[in-house]
Amino acid sequence: MLRSHKLRIALSVAALAAVIPVGARAADQTAGQAAGIAADTVWVVVAACFVLFMQAGFAMLEVGFARMKNVGTVVAKIVVNMSIASIMYWICGFALAFGAANGFLSNILGWTGFMPTFHPGSAINLPAIASSTAPAAAKWFFEFVFCAVSLAIVWGTMLERTKFIVYILFAIPFAGFIYPMISHWLLRGCSSGGPASASMGVTAGRMRFRDTTCRLRSSA
């Protein structure tokens, strides 16, 4: 009886000793995954801030080319356009660029993620950038700054050639539809590993641009 009792105690201690390392190893893996996600998020946000600083560079460049009386208008144009681009890209641009869709529509536009809430734990179906472990809010910020910079480049060519209201009227469709649609055509293949719209006549140069951008986004 005493021997069997000791045997049960020994088996219990052995089982406990075998379970503890497994639990510790699982905890280490969870901590490692959390640290990896945090590092990815920091990198994406920092990279987005670098791109955002291009707005200041464009402001100084355009001010240098503008007459003194139009300096205030140039700076106001950049601030207003970036504000409008952020609203439109949040409402529909992000969804049209990187959302999921079925059938032929998937070759043209995305259709998920309109007006995202970015609540903790919320999930958005974004197949083109699903490989990144960064949260959706960081992904949105990263993609938005590229949209805003593209809009600034467009309007830099029209400096002192149009009225101020024209900047605003063009910023709405550009950030809400034009830029997202082109982004979807070029970058949807990031999730499938193939051309986004080969049947729509995407040229070799555009495909090289798409592949380079896909690699940049996967590293981010």
* Residues 107/194, Cβ–Cβ less than 8 Å: no
pLDDT in tens, 130-158: 878 888 899 999 999 999 999 988 877 78
Q: What's the whole-model pTM score?
A: 0.73
Between 88 and 35, residue with greater pLDDT: 88
Return the pLDDT at 198: 45
* Residues 74/66, Cβ–Cβ less than 8 Å: yes
pLDDT in tens, 25-66: 445 557 777 788 888 899 999 999 999 999 999 889 888 888
Return the pLDDT at 210: 46
* Whole-angstrom distance, CA of residue 117 vs CA of residue 184: 21
Amino acid identity at 95: A
Domains present along the chain, CATH in parentheses: 42-219 (1.10.3430.10)
Q: What's the length of the chain?
A: 220
**DSSP letter assigned to residue 100:** -
* Whole-angstrom distance, CA of residue 6 vs CA of residue 58: 79
